[in-house]
Structure 1
Amino acid sequence: MDCRVVVEAAVPVYDVETPDEAVRIAISKTGGMLNPDLSYVEIEMGSRSSPAGEELEPAFIVADEALVALELEMTVFNVEREEHAARIARKEIGQRLENIPLDVLEIEVLESGDEAEDDDDVATDEDTRDENASSGDDSSGGNDGDDDLLPEFDELLEE
């Protein structure tokens, strides 16, 4: 199963005057800490709300220092449970963002991971549709090579 995990990070930023400036610097700073190892992590501005439900700026500024809420999104592949995906995402991101608190906001199971897990051999959506549409193994010329390779890879993983 594949999951998309969204993690919230509280990134400190110094010498800023406006929330927009704080967010830009926080995104740049976070990107610098994650790249090149985790260049596939998407960084977005987070959202905050008051206890009364009122929308607040993503950056809290006091004395030219800010704490910025960012959302970091990454896809975790081949996990058994959603909790496993959350632990992997927190560990991978947390190793690069030292002293920055992280909290898992959302875990979404991706559809393609469910379909591949249900099949005996790993296949793409197109391969699955082709197999359902025709019962002959030799009907699709380009996919036969892929179908032959994938079970061998699975056999290697089982050993």
Structure 2
Amino acid sequence: MSRLPLGETKSRTHAALAKIHIAKKELGLDDATYRAMLQSVAGVSSSKDLSDAGVTRVLAHLQRCGWKPKAAAKVGKKPSVGRGRQALVGKVEALLAEAKRPWCYAEAMAKRMFGVEKVDWLEPEQLVKLVAALSYDAKRHGRQG
């Protein structure tokens, strides 16, 4: 069995103890019942005294008692859509200004291309496609895109 760095072991233990306390709450165990269960299942009176094997036994017992652990939420980096959308809308605006066309031209393109009434309502992927279409139009008419 490989040894884990102290911090990793501590965070795993902390997570396991958190699961035990969540199960205690969800099953509605009072403190006396909870401590009696710890004593009978793992031979300790407090969860902080549990070994790794004891944690596993307690969690298995709580699941047999009807506790269903919830799947962990998928955590990721929050996308920075705001800045990206602003940059794309700025590019649309620049391409329209260069072509001396009004905003209603871009909105008509959005309606034709995506069935969306307003440029503001476009998803980032759709904005990219709109910028590409306006750039293509600029090159076709001899302007930089």
TM range (shorter): under 0.3
Return the structure number with greater relative CO, CA threshold 8 A, min gap 6.
1
Q: Of Structure 1 and Structure 2, which has the larger fraction of its residues in strand?
A: 1
TM-score, normalising length from structure 1?
0.24
From the two aligned structures, give the one with the greater helix fraction: 2
Question: What TM-score do you get using the length of structure 2 for normalisation?
Answer: 0.26
